[in-house]
Structure 1
Amino acid sequence: MTPKLVIYFIMMYWGAFALIATTVAMATMGSSLEKKAIYNNSTQHYFNISPRATTETKLTSQSAEVQLTKSAVVSTPAVLDCPQHSYVLAVWRIYLKNGTSCYISYKRETNSTERNCSKNMNWVSRPDQISALRLKSPEFSSEGIYMCSIAYARGTFIYKYNLTVLAPPEVTLTHTINGTAVCKAAAGKPAAQISWAQRGDYDTMKETLHNGTETVTSIYNTTNTNEDEVVCIISHPAWKDARILNISLDRYNERRKDATMKILYSSLAGLLGILVLSLFIYAWRFFYGRQTDPTIMKSPETISARQSIQDNELEPYATFVQVENMIYDKTGDFVQA
């Protein structure tokens, strides 16, 4: 092999090696720059705490959003979870249905938090460990959108909750004397569902109250049933299991019979009292009227006795008149003489 040929092969091998090494170095540098750009963009985006969606950059491919529905029971603590990543920034944004909004944020770099939400909303624990949010006492005004945004090295992660607040109803089952069973679920949100275990004739009504809750009333006709009891079934989203209420009809049938007998006895007593009073009035008028009525015929003895009494009463007056006349006559004779 000639020296020129040897030099040619050496240069060819060295050129190929240099080309491969340059290609590998450029690929490594490009990957590092891309990761750094993603990290910087995600951090800058959430440090600004902007409510807008992530811009259409390479960060979009590294982001994920999960939309969830969540229900809370009124006045019962509720927890909204957030992705547990090694994040640099965690932000909760709340947009309530009444038009108000607020936020709670934690920045790991400075171990600092910022907030303008009420004390009813706070972190479950230390935000550097758990980014979940606790609602101490949910109310109807707490309904709205709750969005947790996590910024970490690989991009962003978003949990978006649509929160609704439920109100369990107060349930009752009563039986009336007129033969109906009334099953009621009062002040529930949303409206409860009422059904009856036995077939029969019933009517269900719904009433909306001023605070947005609803009262459902179902009236079951028990007069046409042969069952010893009626069973009312009430279901509501605030409960895991339905409420089952039952009531015996025997006791109320006895009460209805007792009430009927009381009404009957009262009516008979009233009629008897009216009859006795009528008889008393009739007897009083009969006896008292015989003594005062002048049209009643009197016996001859009674008339004669009454005439004698009148004559005896008039006799002194007649004697006085006769004496007076005699004195008047004598006086006249004396004057003429």
Structure 2
Amino acid sequence: MKPKLVIYFIMMYWGAFALIATTVAMATMGSSLEKKAIYNNSTQHYFNISPRATTETKLTSQSAEVQLTKSAVVSTPAVLDCPQHSYVLAVWRIYLKNGTSCYISYKRETNSTERNCSKNMNWVSRPDQISALRLKSPEFSSEGIYMCSIAYARGTFIYKYNLTVLAPPEVSLTHTINGTAVCKAAAGKPAAQISWAQRGDYDTMKEMLHNGTETVTSIYNTTNTNEDEVVCIISHPAWKDARILNISLGRYNERRKDATMKILYSSLAGLLGILVLSLFIYAWRFFYGRQTDPTIMKSPETISARQSIQENELEPYATFVQVENMIYDKTGDFVQA
């Protein structure tokens, strides 16, 4: 009986030991998983970005890096966020597409800042409280890489932005007399997208401008549509909502008819005026021209005038004959003497 009791107690002892070891291991594993979940949740809180941004996160026990794609609207202030830890050093490094670079830094230990960037780039407020960067007036030359590095007790956070600058286009919708509607989005970056609510025949053209913007023009043929109005839809990344422009065709059709009738009436009036003037000239020449010649021929004044003209024409000849006779008479007298 005694050997059996010894074996029984040994088995109970080892069973209790195994149970205790398993319990401790599970508790330790659960605690580590909980800490990891809390760390991931806090990291995700710092990495929360807009739906448009694409995020690539690399996490280690010492550092975290986030790569973002962000856009700003030209001449509209923009803010680039950075993790808000109790950091000892914050540095913004900017590498622009035109080949230039600059930096802005803050050191908590000495409460000092250093920078060589333009005044267009600066801290949002006090750098010891907020490490975000503010672009006062983004321009096309502001495009590039903006990298924020935060050094703190647990490691380093890095936010890396690929910044692009957008230019919203100027939109217009007009209707011409020849039966076309012209929808235009001028000087946009990137090029705007234009569509029409109606199904029909239209052509879309793009024109690249010298400053990198594009003008998009869409011409819609309204002569084959039965709609009372046409609707142009313009979308662009700089806008949250698309721009919708509409124009009524009724008044333009009336204006086109009025213009056509005015041209027709003006042409008819001009032709009628030319015809009346031609008839007046012909009648004047016909009636007054025939009455002038007989009157002049029968007038005594005209007859006397013609006689004086004839006398004037005969006078040189008569003078010549008289002189010749006088010479002849003198020559005859000389011969007889």
Mark the CA change 1:37 to 1:88 in structure 2 (over 3 Å): closer, same or farther: farther
Secondary structure class of the residue paired with 2:295: coil
- Quote how far apart the aligned CAs of 1:283 are: 2.6
2:56, 2:66 within 8 Å by CA — same for their partners in 1?
Answer: no
Mark the CA change 1:82 to 1:313 in structure 2 (over 3 Å): closer, same or farther: closer
- Quote how far apart the aligned CAs of 1:78 are: 0.2
- Quote how far apart the aligned CAs of 1:13 are: 21
Secondary structure class of the residue paired with 1:157: strand
Whole-angstrom distance in 2 between the partners of 1:301 and 1:57: 122
- Quote how far apart the aligned CAs of 1:309 are: 12
Q: For residue 325 of structure 2, what is the aligned residue in structure 1?
A: 325
Mark the CA change 1:46 to 1:135 in structure 2 (over 3 Å): closer, same or farther: same
Q: Which moved more, 1:301-310 or 1:59-68?
A: 301-310
Q: Which moved more, 1:36-45 or 1:147-156?
A: 36-45
1:39, 1:153 within 8 Å by CA — same for their partners in 2?
Answer: no
Whole-angstrom distance in 2 between the partners of 1:115 and 1:211: 29
- Quote how far apart the aligned CAs of 1:8 are: 29
- Quote how far apart the aligned CAs of 1:153 are: 1.2
Q: RMSD of the TM alignment (CA)?
A: 8.3
Mark the CA change 1:294 to 1:123 in structure 2 (over 3 Å): closer, same or farther: same
1:34-76 Cα shifts (integer Å, max 9, x gaps): 9999999999999999999999999975111110001100010
Mark the CA change 1:31 to 1:104 in structure 2 (over 3 Å): closer, same or farther: farther
Mark the CA change 1:54 to 1:198 in structure 2 (over 3 Å): closer, same or farther: closer
Mark the CA change 1:74 to 1:51 in structure 2 (over 3 Å): closer, same or farther: closer
Moved over 3 A (4+): 1-61, 287-337
2:53, 2:70 within 8 Å by CA — same for their partners in 1?
Answer: no
Whole-angstrom distance in 2 between the partners of 1:199 and 1:58: 49
2:53, 2:69 within 8 Å by CA — same for their partners in 1?
Answer: no
- Quote how far apart the aligned CAs of 1:255 are: 0.2
Secondary structure class of the residue paired with 2:225: coil
1:300-327 Cα shifts (integer Å, max 9, x gaps): 9999999999999999999999999999
Q: Which moved more, 1:208-217 or 1:290-299?
A: 290-299
TM-score by length of 2: 0.72
- Quote how far apart the aligned CAs of 1:284 are: 3.6
Whole-angstrom distance in 1 between the partners of 2:128 and 2:213: 39
- Quote how far apart the aligned CAs of 1:214 are: 0.6
Mark the CA change 1:247 to 1:39 in structure 2 (over 3 Å): closer, same or farther: closer
Q: Which moved more, 1:158-167 or 1:315-324?
A: 315-324
Q: Which moved more, 1:281-290 or 1:254-263?
A: 281-290
- Quote how far apart the aligned CAs of 1:86 are: 1.3
- Quote how far apart the aligned CAs of 1:109 are: 0.7
- Quote how far apart the aligned CAs of 1:282 are: 2.0
Alignment of 1:1-337 (within 5 A): 61-287=61-287, 289-290=289-290
- Quote how far apart the aligned CAs of 1:273 are: 1.7
Secondary structure class of the residue paired with 1:303: helix
Whole-angstrom distance in 2 between the partners of 1:144 and 1:91: 16
1:38, 1:153 within 8 Å by CA — same for their partners in 2?
Answer: no
1:189, 1:214 within 8 Å by CA — same for their partners in 2?
Answer: yes
Q: Which moved more, 1:29-38 or 1:203-212?
A: 29-38
Mark the CA change 1:196 to 1:77 in structure 2 (over 3 Å): closer, same or farther: same
Whole-angstrom distance in 1 between the partners of 2:177 and 2:49: 65
- Quote how far apart the aligned CAs of 1:276 are: 1.8
- Quote how far apart the aligned CAs of 1:290 are: 3.2
Mark the CA change 1:46 to 1:111 in structure 2 (over 3 Å): closer, same or farther: farther
**Paired residues, number:** 337
Whole-angstrom distance in 2 between the partners of 1:334 and 1:56: 148
Q: Which moved more, 1:286-295 or 1:189-198?
A: 286-295
Mark the CA change 1:5 to 1:161 in structure 2 (over 3 Å): closer, same or farther: same
Mark the CA change 1:303 to 1:218 in structure 2 (over 3 Å): closer, same or farther: same
Q: Which moved more, 1:180-189 or 1:60-69?
A: 60-69
Mark the CA change 1:128 to 1:292 in structure 2 (over 3 Å): closer, same or farther: same
Mark the CA change 1:91 to 1:319 in structure 2 (over 3 Å): closer, same or farther: closer
TM-score by length of 1: 0.72
Whole-angstrom distance in 1 between the partners of 2:305 and 2:210: 92
Q: Which moved more, 1:179-188 or 1:60-69?
A: 60-69
Whole-angstrom distance in 2 between the partners of 1:57 and 1:305: 122
1:17-37 Cα shifts (integer Å, max 9, x gaps): 999999999999999999999
1:92-142 Cα shifts (integer Å, max 9, x gaps): 000000000000000011111100001110001111111000000000100
Mark the CA change 1:293 to 1:188 in structure 2 (over 3 Å): closer, same or farther: farther
Secondary structure class of the residue paired with 1:122: strand
1:214-260 Cα shifts (integer Å, max 9, x gaps): 10000000000000000000000000000000000000000000000
Mark the CA change 1:263 to 1:162 in structure 2 (over 3 Å): closer, same or farther: same
Mark the CA change 1:154 to 1:23 in structure 2 (over 3 Å): closer, same or farther: farther
- Quote how far apart the aligned CAs of 1:9 are: 23
Whole-angstrom distance in 1 between the partners of 2:216 and 2:51: 41
For structure 1, the residue ranges without an aligned partner over 5 or more in a row are: none
Sequence identity, in percent? 99
For structure 2, the residue ranges without an aligned partner over 5 or more in a row are: none
Mark the CA change 1:9 to 1:312 in structure 2 (over 3 Å): closer, same or farther: closer
Mark the CA change 1:17 to 1:308 in structure 2 (over 3 Å): closer, same or farther: closer
Mark the CA change 1:123 to 1:288 in structure 2 (over 3 Å): closer, same or farther: same
Mark the CA change 1:85 to 1:288 in structure 2 (over 3 Å): closer, same or farther: same
Mark the CA change 1:198 to 1:294 in structure 2 (over 3 Å): closer, same or farther: same
